[in-house]
Chain A
Amino acid sequence: MNLASPRSVNLQLLIGGIVVAIYALGFGTGYTQRVLSVAGIYALMAIGYQFIFGYAGAIALSQGAFMGLGAYVSGILSVRYGIGFDASLPFSLGLPLLVAFIVAVPVLRLQTHYFALATLIISQIILLIAIQWVDMTGGANGIGGIHPLSLLGWNVPPGQATLILIWSVVALGAAAAWQFGRGSLGQAYALMRVNSVAAASIGIDTARLRLIAFLLSSAYAGLAGAFYVHAIRVISPDVLELPVMVTCLTIAVVGGRTRTAGIVTAAVLIIELPEWFRFMQKYYLIAYGAILLLVVIAAPEGLVEAWQRILTRLRPARVAAPSRIAPIAVSWGHAAGRGDVAESPLLSLTEIRRHFGGVRALDGVSFDVAAGEILGLIGPNGSGKTTLVNIVSGIYRPDAGRVRFGGADITPLSPYEIARLGIARTFQTVALVDAMSALDNVAVARGSGRLSLRQTFSVGIDDAHLARRRGEAMGFLDLMGVADDAARPCGALAYGLRRRVEVARALATEPRLLLLDEPATGLNQSEQEDFARRMAAIVRARCTLLVIEHNIPFLNAFVDRLVCLDYGRVIAQGDVASVQRDARVIEAYLGRGVVP
């Protein structure tokens, strides 16, 4: 995704890892091995945390509590019921998963600040229960005498064997997280993180993605907790208190939100840190705070990414010009014989009303869009055009009225469901992932409805799905005339090109109806003409188009019909010439008393 090749840094990390491993296994004392085992446990917890915090972009403050919950379950089963580490895993993973699932319903749809609060409250409840339920948990004193790690009847001795076992699991967990992030699913999360409305507009079920991330996080935390309690062999409410969560957050931020290798490195550094800051005694947490603050300010993408950036600047990687990906043609819409010409009208709006506070943004709007038509929606600022597009695409619900699409009532559907039915859109302010290439920004729209964990983990090293999606995306970039810029990150593209990439992404969902919200804004005269020409050619052959615009000359070039809104009502509709001559339209734009 990045232009700089990350390979060099990964090699350095690998070498560093091997050095630490040789030192720990060959020369390390039992104490060193114990500290590194704990580092591995924190690494596992923080790798899990990157699903919800890194990929889904939500500040969850419950990861420490989920780890503590796993630890308590495993510890209690061990001491009170004599169930070993491995046999108790279904429960030590299961309970955090279950709690996460139950709280996900009320909590996951909350906005960032409420989500953080809600997860903090859940953590506090779990902590208080652990303190209060003395008979089961040992209360504030906790429980000791927990059996050491055991695996399939083998009692894993402390020291080397435990260290190797824990780090093997870390390696597996890290590999799974890496696989999670590198393909189409990771791209979908990247878009959702930047703009969840845009993600939904290409058919990504953002609620489901969030749930998956939250559940995966809790499962990793539960697993880490089970290891923790059997490695430390005592459990007390300390594990549920805020410092554990803070350590996890620090590791995730220092390592880089979605850089698994960075997180593993950060876990070792952060857990080893107190050993280096011995002279600070137990106040090493001050150092955690200072490091967290410094990294957030100076290297928000994490230390590994920052290191990579510095290296790239010192010694620019000679990246071979990316081999141009061959476009895979996608035949869709009328061209594929799946047109909508028969079922006219394609979109039908009846008496749509929507108010914001005292403002009636839409006040009973009704009109139809015929299949295969190119319709221009005009109207002065504040006339309700964008609100209307937001209602058709499901972002707002109307207070009254119906939206029918292809004969079916889509009013109650959520944005991603509407997108999957075949309505695509662009936004007034371009909503792309700046860090991702233009190609991947379009590829993410291919098959966004079929994202699943099973698919993510069954593609293997060579991701054929992603390769095909990129090929198809290339075809759509080609249609919009931006294929030459496919490999460049969107953040580096000029405004006009970004607009085209966004349209290409909308087209890549193979829409039956395309909604463009002020596509000509910010384009110069020749860009506008080129855009109009392309849209006419692309759309005419394949789908229906509703385009919002102020710019009448731009619209004249390619629309069949105009609808004009003013103060939330349709004041005129018909062919371009007659709407332009309409007295009310002229009045709406120019004011009363202007004689044409």
Chain B
Amino acid sequence: MITLQLLIDALAIGAAYSLVALGFVLILNATSAVNFSQGDLVMLGGFVAVALAAYLPVPGIVLLPLVLVIMAGLGLVFSAVAYFPLRRRPPEAVFISTIAVGIILQNGANAVFGPEPQAAPALLGSGEVELGGLSIGRQSLAVIATAIVLILALRWLLGGTQFGRRLRATAQDPDMAAAVGIPVSAMIAITFALATALAGAAGALLAHNFFVTPTDGTNYILKAYIAVTIGGWGSIPGAVAGAGLIAIFEVIYPALPILVPALGRVDWSGIAFSQTTSTIVLDAIILLILLVRPQGLFGEAVRQRP
């Protein structure tokens, strides 16, 4: 029973992480550059939701479209500042420029909102619902549902529309895409808008249960980075799968002493299954994966041309 409850929590976290990782992969595929500020964009989305809620006392589900639109707009600004001036340079330049944007966002948020954790409104209201004997957080269910809707919408956009085909063509080979008349710059700018909106959605979804503080970004970028590494560099379904695996690990590992009572009785279980140790173990696993399979767990979807 408790396992099922934990799994639903994991699913909620994994759903939010998926949105972060998807944004990361979209930019990666379109520009072959790593967006190191993706985590800070998540944090920004959380604060945008917090700020909006101060003026509009409505449920989070009503705020979410606003957050998406605002963040998409900021994504365009982001691409104009940190990507387009550097598009003819090696990907490392963009890596550094996005680190710079991350610093600005993090400290900007600190200046505006202060270092205290703040909560965004719940999507549909907080509290628990009884479902077949399980009591499940309303927010968790709403987060899962919202993320699924967003992921399906993205899937439809990329796979089912002419626009999506152009976007994917741009990601695969910008020069070729330009040669067949696709407006590559516009496609890349829109990719940034999408990626930033997804990060913002994740931030708004996570900021109710987990609060938002200006320094959250580092944590989220690591999650996105790791999810994409596990799932195969550049693979969109892989990013979702990787995010899910991380979330399951994060929820299950600290709960092991409860799930397996024998572990709970060991006198070092407090330290061995703390939240901190959980992160260290996850980090160590990722290093091991990189050691055994430098190309990631499922291989690279984006291959570097020699």
Contact = CB atoms under 8 A, between A and B. Distances in A.
A451 interface: no
Contacts of A109: 294
Contacts of A128: 276, 279-280
Interface in A274-300: 283, 285-286, 288-290, 292-293, 296-297, 300
A124 B93 contact: no
B92 A286 contact: no
Contacts of B276: 128, 131-132
Contacts of A283: 107-108, 110-111
Q: Secondary structure at chain A's binding surface: helix, strand, loop or mixed? A: helix
Main DSSP-derived SS at the B contact region: helix
B95 A116 contact: yes
What is the interface residue range for chain B against chain A? 35 or more
B107 A116 contact: no
B96 interface: yes
Contacts of B284: 125
B283 interface: yes
A292 B287 contact: no
A292 B294 contact: no
Interface in A366-409: 390, 395
A118 B290 contact: yes
A289 B279 contact: no
B225 interface: yes
A249 interface: yes
Scoring A106, A131, A197, A288 by chain B CB atoms within 10 A of each residue's CB, the highest score goes to A106
Contacts of B277: 132
Contacts of B106: 285
A217 B101 CA distance: 26
A263 interface: no
Given A118-B287, A125-B283, A285-B107, A395 B82 contact: no
Interface in A243-266: 246, 249, 253
B108 A286 contact: yes
Nearest to A105: B291
A23 interface: no
A300 B103 contact: no
Interface string B89-128: 1011101110111111011101100000000000000000
B280 A125 contact: yes
Interface of B: 34, 81-82, 85-86, 89, 91-93, 95-97, 99-104, 106-108, 110-111, 218, 222, 225-226, 229, 233, 271, 274, 276-277, 279-280, 283-284, 286-288, 290-291, 294, 304, 306
Instruction: Sort A-B residue pairs by CB-CB distance and give the 4 closest, nearest first.
Output: A289-B103, A106-B291, A289-B104, A293-B100
Given A112-B92, A121-B226, A132-B276, 19 more contacts: A59-B96, A106-B287, A107-B290, A112-B95, A113-B95, A114-B229, A117-B222, A120-B222, A125-B284, A132-B277, A242-B218, A249-B99, A283-B107, A285-B103, A285-B107, A289-B101, A289-B104, A293-B81, A297-B86
